[in-house]
Amino acid sequence: MLPTLENLALDLAENGILTITLNRPSKLNALNAATIEELGQTMQLALDNPQVHGIILTGAGDKAFVAGADISELAALDENRGRRAAERGQEVFCTIEESTKPVIAAVNGFALGGGCELAMACHFRVAADNARFGQPEVNLGLIPGYGGTQRLTQLVGKGKALELLMTADLVKADEALRLGLVNHVVPQAELLDFTRALLSRILTKAPLAVGLVIDSVNAYFDKERNGYQAEANAFARCFASDDFREGTQAFLEKRPATFTGR
């Protein structure tokens, strides 16, 4: 059973795709502490729910995915509370990044500050042609706090990340595609249909293998893990799975595979 939430709208389709919509359109879906808590709760429920196979994150309305953090909340923080807010946001966003169920951001409009950080925490991003990305925190005397300095650097490289973080420049959808910040740009009217179709294709693959791909790629960026060893361990694990037996048998019998995730 999915909860009823104040700041998120949830829709679970019959094919197992859960669409999580940041639902504060009057605030351009700005992230406040309550929204981050609801997002963390929802992600954990989704990971534990066998009916959820994949997740789409998007924003309500056609103007913004998430236009940033709630500035009125930030203005009231001191150093200690600011650190705690950053650590909690990073914890929730890492839950998204480390999800073994695929998570795609469908970015409609502005993805600024915490919104850009949220999109980057997803496994990849599909952008509407009106999307705008940026980390404008230096305009407020701040820096990104939810992992933006780390993930932006991973996605676009050190030099370009430093430029965008220090200038606070916004990036249009076509430039985001060129930089590797997003995977696809589509007309806004087609955004959700395109993203659902893309995720549906992924969900036809072996769920265990998809989850192990995510974990192995993440291991590359984890200083405490050897990515090559993580890959070898994951590769070996596949051989003990029902999905491997089904996949190879289906290939030999020239039929579609029916995977169970085991």
Distance of CA 221 to the CA centre of its chain: 16
Report residue 1's pLDDT band, with 50, 70 and 90 as the boundaries: low
pLDDT tens-place string over residues 225-254: 999 999 999 999 999 999 999 999 999 999
14 among known catalytic residues: no
Cα-based distances in Å from 244 to 173, 247, 253, 260? 38, 5, 14, 10
Exactly one of 91, 117, 246, 253 is catalytic; name it.
117
135 and 241 housed in the same domain: no
144 and 240 housed in the same domain: no
pLDDT tens-place string over residues 143-198: 999 999 999 999 999 999 999 999 999 999 999 999 999 999 999 999 999 999 99
Exactly one of 37, 87, 137, 253 is catalytic; name it.
137
For residue 3, what are its two tokens?
């909860």
Q: Are 179 and 148 in contact (CB under 8 A)?
A: no
Asked, for residue 137, whether it belongs to a domain, the answer is: yes
Backbone angles phi, psi at 233, to 5 degrees: -65, -40
Residue 73 is which amino acid? E
What is the number of alpha carbons within 13 Å of residue 92 lying toward its C-beta? Answer: 25
Domain of residue 219: give its range: 207-252
Asked, for residue 2, whether it belongs to a domain, the answer is: no
What is the 8-class DSSP label of residue 60? S
**Residue 12's closest CA among 55, 48, 57, 60?**
55
Asked, for residue 130, whether it belongs to a domain, the answer is: yes
pLDDT for 80 equals 96
* Number of folded domains that form the chain: 2
Mean pLDDT taken over the chain: 96
212 and 196 housed in the same domain: no
117 among known catalytic residues: yes
pLDDT for 72 equals 86
Higher pLDDT, 72 or 187: 187
36 and 128 housed in the same domain: yes
**Residue 22's closest CA among 54, 73, 71, 61?**
61
46 and 167 housed in the same domain: yes
Q: Are 176 and 133 in contact (CB under 8 A)?
A: yes
pLDDT for 215 equals 98
**Residue 69's closest CA among 30, 121, 112?**
30
Tell whether pTM > 0.75.
yes
pLDDT mean over 94-100: 98
81 and 157 housed in the same domain: yes
Number of Cβ atoms within 10 Å of the Cβ of 28 = 20
198 and 212 housed in the same domain: no
What CATH number should be reported for the domain holding residue 113?
A: 3.90.226.10
